[in-house]
Amino acid sequence: MDLILNKGNDITKKSFTLNRQQFHRDGLILNVHHTDNNSRRLRFMYTCFNASGDLIASADSKGNLFLIDITRRKFWGLPTVDSCTLLQFSSYRECEILIGLKTNSIIIMNFEIGTIKGNLIGHKSVPNNISFSRCTFCLTSSKTEAIVWDLQNNLKLKILSLETGALLKHVSFLPHSNHIIGCYTDDMMNIWEFGTFRILRVIPHSIWNNMNIKYFAISCDGAVMAVSSNNPVLAVYSLKNLKLLKFIELPEHVKSIKFLKFITLKDNLRSILAILSGDGIILFLDTLKNIIISELKAQHEIIKFDHVDLNIFLSCVLCTGYIQIFDITPYTEKPIKVPALTEKKLKFKFQQRTSPSKIEELKEEMDDVLNIDKLRSILKEFGEYPETYRTLIWEQLLQLPNNTVVYDGIRKYQVQNVFQNIDVEYRANNRSTKFLKILLSNLVTWCGFFAHVHYLPVFVYPFLKVFQNRPIVCFEAIATILCKYGSHFFLSSFSLKNIHPK
Per residue in 395-405, pLDDT (tens digit) is 888 888 888 88
**Mean pLDDT in residue range 156-163:** 83
Closest C-alpha among 496, 426, 416 to residue 460:
426
Strands (E), 255-301: 257-262, 272-277, 282-286, 291-296
The SS3 call for residue 235 is: strand
**Mean pLDDT in residue range 345-373:** 54
Residue 348 confidence (pLDDT): 38
Distance CA 41, CA 77 (A): 16
**Residue 415 near residue 451, CB atoms below 8 Å:** yes
Distance CA 220, CA 57 (A): 21
The pTM is what?
0.66
Give 420-438 as a DSSP string: TTHHHHS---HHHHHHHHH
Q: Which helix H or strand E contains 473, and what residues bound it?
A: helix 471-485
pLDDT at 321 over 60: yes
Residue 161 confidence (pLDDT): 74
∠ Cα 128 129 134 (to 5°): 165
**Mean pLDDT in residue range 23-27:** 66
- pLDDT tier, 388 (very low <50, low <70, confident <90, very high otherwise): confident
- Give the CA distances from residue 79 to residues 34, 54, 113, 270, in Å, rounded to whole numbers and listed in that order: 16, 21, 10, 38
Q: Would you tell me how many other CB atoms lie within 10 Å of the CB of residue 314?
A: 25
Distance CA 499, CA 350 (A): 42
pLDDT at 336 over 60: no
- Sequence ranges of the domains in the chain: 385-493
Give the model confidence (pLDDT) of 204-254 as tens digits: 988 988 888 999 999 988 899 999 998 899 999 999 888 999 999 888 888
Least confident of 49-58, 75-84, 161-170, 486-495: 486-495
Residue 182 confidence (pLDDT): 92
Least confident of 140-144, 194-198, 213-217, 373-377: 373-377
Residue-averaged pLDDT of the chain: 82
Counting every residue written for the chain, the total comes to 502
pLDDT at 501 over 80: no
Give the model confidence (pLDDT) of 267-313 as tens digits: 665 579 999 998 899 999 998 888 899 999 988 899 999 999 888 89
The SS3 call for residue 75 is: strand
